């Protein structure tokens, strides 16, 4: 087992390589009630009530959180009780928001079952749901009491889901830890899928990157914004595709876009731009998107929560591990960068 400490509004540990059922016992002992939130599709045997939510982004809606609140009320959860979110990023986002909003905040434990959940969604205290206006626009900062990462969950994932989650790992490589990129050099998706030690090391490193950022900037001033590398366009593509693309697939495209914009605006080295495409393509992640989608994507980016005072802001890099903002890109520059990744 390896642990990564997170110092947010409260301190907690991310435990990697544990048996989640054994580790959870430490958090359920002494609780009057424990409620698990999981997706409808998950096969799960636990000794606690389970509130089921729809799979994917459909589970992060005002209607679903209202249903969850109703269930929590029926179960009479009080401040000493515990919510446990078991699932991918959408489940832990929703479970965390349920915990943040019930009685103005009760304890919760995250048990992520996907790569993206392990390295991103479950860590850092960002919880929330989607609205008709955009992704994750309704939410709260409310850290879990613990994050329990059982790597055996990865055996249940499709190759596509592992690849999509790896996009968040790759992001951490470009913004902070070049060793991640070195570990993935000359690797293809099957290498990652079949190598448990490689998975463990990549997840540990990505978790360490996020924990380090969150510990310095819990409420998201610029430092925490670096975790949104590739996400401004990525979130817009998710919505445009009606969430048919996995989150990581959309973020992969977004990273290629911002690499091209960084080349134009910050003189990012061409070989670093090329490295984006090489690593992402090797893991069978998309690096381009529909040419005709640009006008609508531009509108969707304008209502992204990272936009301020009506202007688009992008997390960018001028070299691996050094993040900057791009806030002055013209519409022509944005279009030109998009045309370089358009199909």
The catalytic site residues sit at 104, 126, 168, 210, 220, 224, 228, 231, 235, 247
- E strand or H helix that includes residue 135: strand 134-141
**Which tokens go with 78?**
């009080």
Per DSSP, 297 falls in state H
Q: In a 10 Å sphere around its CB, with 0-12 CB exposed, 13-18 middle and 19+ buried, how is residue 334 labelled? A: buried
Q: In a 10 Å sphere around its CB, with 0-12 CB exposed, 13-18 middle and 19+ buried, how is residue 217 labelled? A: middle
Report the 10 Å Cβ neighbour count for 22: 10
**Which tokens go with 54?**
């729809």
DSSP 249-274: HHHHHHHHHHHHHHHHHH---HHHHH
Please provide the size of the chain in residues.
343
Cα gap 27→3, rounded to integer Å? 16
**Cα separation of the two ends of the chain:** 44
Bridge-based pairing of strands 134-141 and 126-131 is antiparallel
Report the 10 Å Cβ neighbour count for 122: 34
**Which tokens go with 34?**
């424990």
- E strand or H helix that includes residue 129: strand 126-131
DSSP 179-211: HHHHHHTT--HHHHHH-HHHHHHHHHHHHHHHH
Cα gap 243→312, rounded to integer Å? 22
Per DSSP, 35 falls in state E
Owner of token pair 């206006």 = 133
Judged by DSSP in three states, 130 sits in strand
């Amino acid at each position: 087992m390896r642990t990564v400490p997170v110092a947010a509004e409260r301190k907690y540990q991310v435990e990697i390589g544990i048996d989640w059922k054994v580790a959870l016992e430490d958090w359920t002992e002494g609780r009057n009630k424990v409620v698990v939130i999981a997706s409808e599709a998950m096969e799960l045997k636990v000794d606690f009530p389970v509130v089921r939510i729809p799979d994917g982004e459909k589970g992060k809606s005002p209607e679903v959180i209202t249903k969850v609140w109703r269930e929590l009320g029926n179960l009479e959860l009080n401040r000493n009780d515990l919510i446990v979110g078991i699932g991918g990023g959408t489940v832990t986002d929703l479970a965390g928001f349920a915990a943040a909003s019930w009685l103005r905040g009760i304890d919760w434990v995250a048990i992520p079952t996907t790569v993206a959940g392990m390295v991103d969604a479950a860590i850092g205290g960002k919880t929330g749901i989607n609205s008709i206006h955009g992704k994750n626009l309704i939410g709260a900062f409310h850290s879990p009491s613990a994050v329990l990462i059982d790597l055996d969950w990865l055996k249940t994932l499709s190759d596509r889901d592992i690849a999509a989650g790896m996009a968040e790992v790759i992001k951490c490589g470009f913004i902070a830890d070049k060793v991640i990129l070195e570990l993935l050099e000359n690797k293809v998706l099957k290498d990652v899928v079949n190598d448990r030690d490689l998975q463990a090391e990549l997840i540990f490193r990505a978790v360490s990157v996020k924990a380090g950022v969150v510990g310095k900037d819990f409420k998201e001033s610029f430092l925490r914004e670096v975790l949104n590398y590739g996400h401004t366009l990525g979130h817009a593509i998710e919505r445009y595709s009606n969430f048919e693309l996995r989150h990581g697939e959309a973020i992969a495209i977004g990273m290629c876009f911002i690499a091209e914009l960084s080349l134009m605006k910050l003189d990012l080295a061409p070989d670093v731009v090329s490295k984006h495409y090489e690593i992402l393509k090797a893991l069978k992640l998309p690096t381009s998107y529909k040419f005709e989608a640009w006008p609508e994507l531009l509108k969707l980016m304008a209502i992204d929560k990272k936009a301020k005072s009506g202007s688009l802001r992008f997390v960018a890099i001028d070299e691996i591990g050094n993040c900057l903002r791009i806030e002055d890109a013209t519409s022509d520059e944005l279009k030109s960068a998009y045309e370089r990744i358009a199909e």
